[in-house]
């Protein structure tokens, strides 16, 4: 198993709020999904917000 590339576990929630303009769902079940999709995929170096969307 690989470790996440981001060391900040709140990065996914913050990126979700920036992109969706609302707070992320408050659920333990979605925490991993938020960290991966918004914390790792959306915040990749060299990928602007427009390109990510």
The verdict on residue 18 lying in a domain is yes
Distance separating alpha carbons of residues 53 and 1, to the nearest angstrom: 28
7-33 pLDDT tens trace = 566 888 888 898 889 999 888 888 888
- At residue 44, does pLDDT exceed 90? no
The verdict on residue 21 lying in a domain is yes
Residue 51: its pLDDT value, please? 57
Residue 52: its pLDDT value, please? 54
**Taking each helix axis from N to C terminus, what angle separates 28-36 and 11-20, rounded to the nearest 10 degrees?**
80
Sign of CA dihedral 50, 10, 35, 40: positive
The verdict on residue 5 lying in a domain is no
Residue 23: its pLDDT value, please? 93
Q: Who's near 52: CB < 8 A, 6+ residues apart?
A: 41, 42, 44
Domain span holding position 33: 11-52
How many domains does the chain divide into? 1
- At residue 46, does pLDDT exceed 70? yes
The verdict on residue 44 lying in a domain is yes
3 pLDDT band (50/70/90 cuts)?
A: very low
């Amino acid at each position: 198993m690989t470790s996440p590339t981001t060391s900040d576990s709140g990065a996914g929630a913050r990126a979700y709020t920036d992109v969706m303009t609302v707070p992320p769902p408050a659920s333990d079940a979605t925490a991993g999904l938020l960290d991966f999709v918004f914390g790792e995929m959306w915040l990749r170096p060299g990928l602007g917000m427009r390109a990510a969307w």
